[in-house]
Structure 1
Amino acid sequence: MIRGIRKKLSLFLIVSLMTASMIGCSSSTSEGDKEGKKNDMLVIATANDIGDLNAHGYSPMYGQNFLYEGLTTFEEGEVKPALAEKWDVSEDGKEYTFYLRKNVKFTDGSQLNAKVVKKNFDAFLKNKDAHSFLESVNLMESVEVVDDHTVKIKYKESYYPVLQELALSRPVRIMAEASFPDDGDTSEKIKEPIGTGMWKLKEHKAGEYAILERNEDYWGEKPKFKEVKMVVTPDGDTAVNALKAGEVNMIFDVESRLSPDAFNELKSSGFKTQVSQPLSTVSLIVNATDGATKDLKVRKALQHGVDKEVISEHVFYGLQEPADTLFDKNVPYCDINLAKYEYDLEEAGKMLDEAGWKLEEGKEYRSKDGKELELGFYYDGDNVIYKSLGEVLQSEYKKMGVKINLESQERQALIDKTKSGDFDITITETWGDPYDPHTLVASMKNEGYADYQAQKGLPMKKELDEKIGKVIVENDEKIRQDLYTDILTTLHDQAVYLPISKTTRLVACDKDLEGIKFNTLYYIPIEEVTRESK
């Protein structure tokens, strides 16, 4: 009996030791798993679905940046090598020879080579009209394969921003051979999104989310997180609530809509927040072609009637500084002396009087020939910040007898109205690096843009377009600077643009995330984002 008890005790001790050992191992593994899983997935709120991820199309830029790369990239204010490790430029500036990195793989395992680069360029050149806002595409003449890892691109004219525009998110990114439809035409659709970038598509439920996984064969430095999930949250309130509930880890104000008041609320609630340096300029476009704003005196009166300090404080909560010029002085060729339009209601009233718009006793708004001075402010109805801006403008302009009607529009409807010139005032934003000033200025000659429609009524529009045509192909730095000075001074003096503020981007996220940075206006640079070790 004693022997039986001893046998049971021995068995009990063995089981106990084994259990303790297993518990110890389990505890150790859990800690290791916890450490290992801290960078498993980053969840980001985004207002827009990732789209079809066609490298040559116009789905949201953040997805194209995640999956695809170009020959060059633009970081920290300068062009840097990407899929091309170096390049040569001919003396006349019309030929660029690119030397591709070797041993770069697409995420399907196929190799990057000159043949597939040419196939990509040939594909978007077939659809050149869709990309005509890019002068480098308009001027591109041919793409030649020199050898397996060398490509030569020829241009009709020299164009100084070629390397910058080759860094753009679209349409000059490179897809794998397997992405192309059988007929090679990528203008409508592709078979599947396959790039050389840091991420590859793992799962996509249209209108809900997309999951991207890290490209373990990436040629450069890999992201810290293994996966990133982009959750579609159409409005800012939804995104903020999702962050508070722990359903997302980050709101990055590029494809999401993070209002300044929500940003400050999250900051006070203990979330980590960051503000970028100024990346572009928010301006009003005032139609100089039709209606009351065709009169220069009216346009100048509008310039003097805006208190930008009030807008900075009450619309942007101090997160965006007032702007006085279309492009900031730190933008190349834009450091020129332009007279500031001071806030001066008396001067504004005098100009409106001279234009024939009188404020009769007992009336709220000015009139001329029996017609009230009323202007429509057209804006994207999904953008609560622009709605707030319109409300401030409405209040400010009422002081000088100008009636502002807020015209909320669906995005496509707004695009259609501005393309046709059917607006009084609308809102715009310069394009930032690597577009400014050349790409935006070049687009001013394009009838499909609000800029052209607003400017076409200017008496010097023909001469202005001629100067724009010259500046983008001019090789002489002094002549180029003189042309930019003339163009920007004319637009400023003609009061076509009413600069409002210097654009910043906002981020709110879990307090243990670090490595957040800002690059260009449309990029979500999360490759260095990681969780702090406890």
Structure 2
Amino acid sequence: MFSKETLTVTRRTALLGATALLTLPRIGLAQAAPVDGGRLILIARPEPATLGLGLNLQAPTIYVGGKIFESLLTYSSDLAPMPSLATSWSISEDGLTYRFELRQNATWHDGTPFTSADVVFTADDMMRSSHPRWKLLAETYVERIEADGDFAVVFTLKEPFSAFIYAFELSSLPIMAKHVYEGTDYRTNPANNAPIGTGPFKFVSWNRGQSIELERYEDYWDETPAHLDQVTFLVIPDAASRETAFEQQIVDVLRPGDVEGFVARRLSEADDVIMTTMGEEFYAPHAFIQMNLRKPPFNNLKIRQAVMHAVDREFISNNIWFGMASPATGPVSSRTAFYEPDVTPYPFDIEKARGLVADSGLSGDDLKVTLTPLPYGQQWDRTAEYIAQQLTQAGLDVSIRGVDVSGWAQALSTWEFDLALNYTYQYAHPALGVARHYLSSNIIQGTPAANNEGYSDPEVDRLFAEAANSVDTEETQRLYSEAQKRLVDDVALGWIFEMRSPTIYRDTTNEVVTSAIGVMDTMKATWKAA
């Protein structure tokens, strides 16, 4: 875990060097002994469509669900695996067998004992049908999943898959209760709105449009339950109101995106406020324009190239996101393994964009497109407005289609879009967070987190498959580099920026970020000074 001292030092250093993005806050109060009790006030933004983690991979569901559910592992800031529902694990020398020893004193929030049967049901049944990332991984690499008694599970792979150890983060494989979900329609199960997990906090109530209430689970498997008595998520749609709620100390923590970049800078300057960019090492969020490649105009390469030249990614990063982003160059984040910088550049050049549109041979209705923004706040709205303006200048006829979170997810999931804004979590390894957006086998309906644009290239499929199987680092890099170059040449997506996301909180709130998944984690160690 990171102590308060670590975080205050990190405020000085975390953004220097490669990023240097944020105004640095002042040093907070010294670390004291943890205090039990109290209520932590957070913000659910936007309000989740469901609390069925694993059925919905949008950030608000992960944020709330991460306090209720757990997976087998979590990960440190240097991406080392750490115990969660698994106490230990081993990997065979040939890389084909992963064995997890499970906690023997964990229970579900309704009192039912947690066992290996829950893990097998989750991994081999429920998530195969409902979780696009796990479905792809399991169907491609997993030969079988077996219980060895009540408290051990063995995953046997068809072939080596070096990224497999990263597949057990809580949103990647949230362990679900077999006795709650087996034999039901997973997507309509009432537990999706009143979840039953094994985490340190249990669900109490959901007052739609207002708040979600959790309370400490007294029978939690750890030696001591969570420090906090309660965790409340307030639904505050308006950015100015979220800012005010934090300033008036109604809200304790602002997660990345709760307030705009310039507001985050200002708030961080207060003597009693701590800001850190730690806690996104596992996710490395990566924003892009998704273009539907199934129909004109985006089935035309020249139009896709025009999009890349028409959008000034430096302007977006520095002016719309206030320096809390850096331009993306391709599908892999520069902060993760196997990034390839030597790809075809697309410098901002509106005249070149206009020429490409003219050279495409398209005109009239074929150039009329609708842009679906990501409904996650004003910065995303302004990003959409800027992109629409730029593409209109390049010769496209762009209109913006405003939708709520459910409408956005529906549009992408059913492929009923022309252009859409999206961002992806990279999940520590390209095989987990990147390949899913480009593999032909992942052109599936029902989720906004798959290959929704419809990109298909057998050579890219081959490169991703061989890279995932490779056990030689240099060969893995070569394969991923070739895949990145090919994807950038094809403009499979319109990559915009790598997000640099701060978490902000009062210095009376402690142990807010304790892992590589930050505030998305359980927050079982979080406490508030009396």
**Alignment TM-score, normalising by the size of structure 2:** 0.77
Amino acid corresponding to residue 242 of structure 2 in structure 1? A
Find the counterpart in structure 2 of residue 67 from structure 1: 68
- Unpaired runs of 5+ residues, structure 1, are 1-34, 357-367
Find the counterpart in structure 2 of residue 226 from structure 1: 229
1:277-426 to structure 2, matched below 5 A, reads: 279-356=284-361, 373-381=367-375, 383-426=377-420
State, as a whole percentage, how many aligned pairs show the same letter. 18
Structure 1 residues 369-415: Cα deviation after superposition (integer angstroms, max 9, x where no partner)? 56695543221345322210122223444554444322223333333
Match of 2:84 among 76, 82, 85: 82
Find the counterpart in structure 1 of residue 500 from structure 2: 504
User: Contact conserved, 2:239 with 2:377, CA < 8 A, in 1?
Assistant: no
Residue 441 (structure 1) aligned with residue 435 (structure 2): yes
User: Contact conserved, 1:115 with 1:145, CA < 8 A, in 2?
Assistant: yes
Taking a change above 3 Å as real, the CA distance of residues 329 and 56 of structure 1, as seen in their structure-2 partners, is closer
Residue 487 (structure 1) aligned with residue 486 (structure 2): no
CA distance in 1, matches of 2:437, 2:366: 34
Amino acid corresponding to residue 149 of structure 1 in structure 2? F
User: Contact conserved, 1:215 with 1:222, CA < 8 A, in 2?
Assistant: yes
Find the counterpart in structure 2 of residue 21 from structure 1: none
Q: How far off its partner does 1:201 sit?
A: 2.8
User: Contact conserved, 1:57 with 1:170, CA < 8 A, in 2?
Assistant: no
Find the counterpart in structure 1 of residue 256 from structure 2: 253
Amino acid corresponding to residue 62 of structure 2 in structure 1? M
User: Contact conserved, 2:119 with 2:175, CA < 8 A, in 1?
Assistant: no
Q: Pick which of 77-86 and 285-294 moved more.
A: 285-294
CA distance in 2, matches of 1:429, 1:248: 26
Structure 1 residues 294-352: Cα deviation after superposition (integer angstroms, max 9, x where no partner)? 33233223222222222123211122222222222332222352233222334434444
Match of 2:423 among 429, 447, 460: 429
Taking a change above 3 Å as real, the CA distance of residues 471 and 420 of structure 1, as seen in their structure-2 partners, is farther
Q: Pick which of 345-354 and 39-48 moved more.
A: 345-354
Amino acid corresponding to residue 454 of structure 1 in structure 2? E
CA distance in 2, matches of 1:501, 1:162: 27
Find the counterpart in structure 1 of residue 175 from structure 2: 173
> Over the residues paired in the alignment, what is the CA RMSD in angstroms?
3.6
Amino acid corresponding to residue 58 of structure 1 in structure 2? N
Find the counterpart in structure 2 of residue 12 from structure 1: none
User: Contact conserved, 2:245 with 2:251, CA < 8 A, in 1?
Assistant: yes
1:88-107 to structure 2, matched below 5 A, reads: 88-107=90-109
Q: How far off its partner does 1:500 sit?
A: 1.8
CA distance in 1, matches of 2:511, 2:418: 43
Structure 1 residues 146-167: Cα deviation after superposition (integer angstroms, max 9, x where no partner)? 2343222233444332221122
**Alignment TM-score, normalising by the size of structure 1:** 0.77
Taking a change above 3 Å as real, the CA distance of residues 183 and 412 of structure 1, as seen in their structure-2 partners, is closer
CA distance in 2, matches of 1:247, 1:152: 46
CA distance in 2, matches of 1:183, 1:394: 46
1:180-199 to structure 2, matched below 5 A, reads: 180=180, 183=183, 188-189=188-189, 193-199=195-201
Amino acid corresponding to residue 41 of structure 2 in structure 1? V
User: Contact conserved, 2:200 with 2:522, CA < 8 A, in 1?
Assistant: no
SS of equivalent residue, structure 1 residue 409: coil
Taking a change above 3 Å as real, the CA distance of residues 496 and 201 of structure 1, as seen in their structure-2 partners, is same
User: Contact conserved, 2:426 with 2:433, CA < 8 A, in 1?
Assistant: no
Taking a change above 3 Å as real, the CA distance of residues 146 and 394 of structure 1, as seen in their structure-2 partners, is closer
Which is bigger in relative contact order (C-alpha 8 A, separation at least 6)? Answer: 2
Find the counterpart in structure 2 of residue 151 from structure 1: 153
CA distance in 1, matches of 2:290, 2:159: 31
Tell me the matched-pair count: 479
- Unpaired runs of 5+ residues, structure 2, are 1-32
Q: How far off its partner does 1:490 sit?
A: 1.0
CA distance in 2, matches of 1:181, 1:334: 39
Amino acid corresponding to residue 520 of structure 1 in structure 2? I
SS of equivalent residue, structure 1 residue 283: strand
CA distance in 1, matches of 2:216, 2:465: 43
SS of equivalent residue, structure 1 residue 298: helix
Q: How far off its partner does 1:40 sit?
A: 1.1
CA distance in 1, matches of 2:307, 2:217: 52
Taking a change above 3 Å as real, the CA distance of residues 86 and 36 of structure 1, as seen in their structure-2 partners, is closer
Taking a change above 3 Å as real, the CA distance of residues 373 and 93 of structure 1, as seen in their structure-2 partners, is same
Taking a change above 3 Å as real, the CA distance of residues 36 and 301 of structure 1, as seen in their structure-2 partners, is closer
| Higher alpha-carbon Rg | 1
Q: How far off its partner does 1:199 sit?
A: 2.0
1:126-145 to structure 2, matched below 5 A, reads: 128-134=128-134, 135-138=136-139, 139-145=141-147
CA distance in 2, matches of 1:438, 1:317: 29
Amino acid corresponding to residue 86 of structure 1 in structure 2? S
Structure 1 residues 79-118: Cα deviation after superposition (integer angstroms, max 9, x where no partner)? 2232222223334433322222344454555554434444
Find the counterpart in structure 1 of residue 18 from structure 2: none
Amino acid corresponding to residue 189 of structure 2 in structure 1? K
User: Contact conserved, 2:296 with 2:367, CA < 8 A, in 1?
Assistant: no
User: Contact conserved, 2:45 with 2:376, CA < 8 A, in 1?
Assistant: no
Amino acid corresponding to residue 64 of structure 2 in structure 1? G
Q: Pick which of 144-153 and 434-443 moved more.
A: 434-443
